[in-house]
Amino acid sequence: MTEKNTSGRGQRDLRVRVKTAKGRKLSSTLWLERQLNDPYVQRARKDGFRGRAAYKIMELDDRYGFLKPGGRIVDLGCAPGGWSQVAVPRVNALGERKGKPVGRIIGVDLQEMEPIPGVELHQLDFMADEADALVKGWLGGKADVVMSDMAAAASGNRQVDHLRIISLCEAAAEFAFDVLEHGGTFVAKVLAGGAENELQATLKRNFTKVANVKPPASRSDSSEKFVVAQGFRGRWQDRESSAQDQD
């Protein structure tokens, strides 16, 4: 909400205004102005998080409770690391909650990252053939949660961007099917736009509950939403094959 001056000298807009510098695009100026006035950006700096996205996973977990002490978590495309930061105390990755099981967090990204206490970071393409085996080896078993806040580079075309992020989310879901424990959770960012119907159908075949949520920390003018799929039942193709073998 825009704060107002009510001192009696008339109302004055206290939002930070950014002038367009020579050589800077208007879109960049507007982005910078939005960042400077975003309460979640300011709160992230104060709380020590690497980005405002931390509050999205925090709000999702507050509602659905998938980050539990002792949980084994895979954070795909984890840079800059806000989601992993939130997960550390919630799964007790540092063992600071006495009497609670200690969790594990594996962060995977194409780029190198600054270390995060309690998180094991790996520079890896999660779509590589050996990625699922590597991650399960690092975890020492299967994961309880696979989460992804990944987004493809924006092209400026809303439909193209929508299709790109849906493809990325579908790839993340396929990865999750390979590494999730039965009963596990998959959380990922998608963009509303119509092409997500097939993804939704696939998730509903593989999980007992699938919810689509726009947490309060998600900007109101953004088309992003998050899918929270809980109760992994095993890859449905494998279940179908097993049922046929028993006939």
What residues form the annotated binding site? Answer: 81, 83, 109, 125, 149
Write down the CATH superfamily of domain 52-246.
Answer: Vaccinia Virus protein VP39 (3.40.50.150)
Question: Looking at 4, 19, 22, 189, which residue is catalytic?
Answer: 189
Q: Which amino acid is at 71?
A: G
Please report the pLDDT score of residue 44 as a whole number.
78
At 49-60, the pLDDT tens digits run 878 899 999 999
What residues form the annotated binding site for S-adenosyl-L-methionine? Answer: 81, 83, 109, 125, 149
Low-confidence ranges of the chain (pLDDT < 50): 1-21, 24, 26-33, 35, 243
Please report the pLDDT score of residue 196 as a whole number.
77
Torsion angle of the four alpha carbons 106, 66, 76, 165, in this order, in degrees rounded to the nearest 10: 180
Domain ranges of the chain: 52-246
Give yes or no for a contact between 147 and 184, defined as CB atoms under 8 angstroms apart.
no
Give yes or no for a contact between 143 and 74, defined as CB atoms under 8 angstroms apart.
yes
User: Which residues make beta-bridge pairs with 153?
Assistant: none
Instruction: Compute how many other C-beta atoms are within 10 angstroms of the C-beta atom of residue 168.
Output: 21
Please report the pLDDT score of residue 158 as a whole number.
75
Handedness of CA 123, 127, 130, 135 (dihedral sign): positive
